[in-house]
């Protein structure tokens, strides 16, 4: 897959403990991104953070949280990002969602492309 230079970075901020039915919300979102053919998705886990509630979530030994902050990052073209957001909007109840314009410098190559 190739991507143009101009793309969008979608970030979804959520808690590790948030659920979509019986599954963790972050897994549901990443699997949906894959199902819809987005270029890729990465889940980043934070050792500390707080959101709209103001409640602190931390990975300190004395205060192990079961709801550490997560960020899902997805980079793709505008049309795919917008279609994805429309498909998952009903799941994004207690999340923060941001979009930034990004310039893709490199998207990598598959093993097949390198050997060719």
Three-state SS string across the chain, please?
CCCCCEEEEEEEEEECCCEECCEEHHHHHHHHHHHCCCCCEEEEECCEECCCCCCCEECCHHHCCCCCEEEEEEEECHHHHHHHHHHHHHHCCCCEEEEEEEECCCCCCCHHHHHC
pTM, to two decimals:
0.83
Q: Over 60: is that where the pLDDT of 96 sits?
A: yes
Q: Where are the domains of the chain?
A: 6-104
pLDDT digits (tens, 9 = 90+) for 35-91: 999 999 999 998 778 777 777 777 665 555 567 899 999 999 999 999 999 999 999
Q: Which CATH architecture has domain 6-104?
A: 2-Layer Sandwich (3.30)
């Amino acid at each position: 897959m190739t991507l143009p230079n101009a793309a969008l970075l979608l970030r979804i901020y959520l808690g590790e403990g948030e659920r979509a039915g019986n599954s963790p919300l972050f897994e549901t979102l990443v699997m949906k991104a894959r199902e819809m053919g987005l270029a890729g998705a990465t889940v980043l886990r934070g050792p500390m953070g707080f959101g709209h509630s103001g409640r602190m979530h931390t990975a300190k030994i004395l205060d192990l949280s079961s709801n550490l902050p997560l960020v899902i990052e997805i980079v793709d073209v505008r049309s795919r990002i917008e279609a994805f957001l429309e498909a998952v909007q009903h799941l994004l109840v207690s999340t923060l969602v941001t979009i930034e314009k990004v310039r893709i410098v490199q998207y990598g190559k598959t093993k097949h492309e390198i050997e060719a």
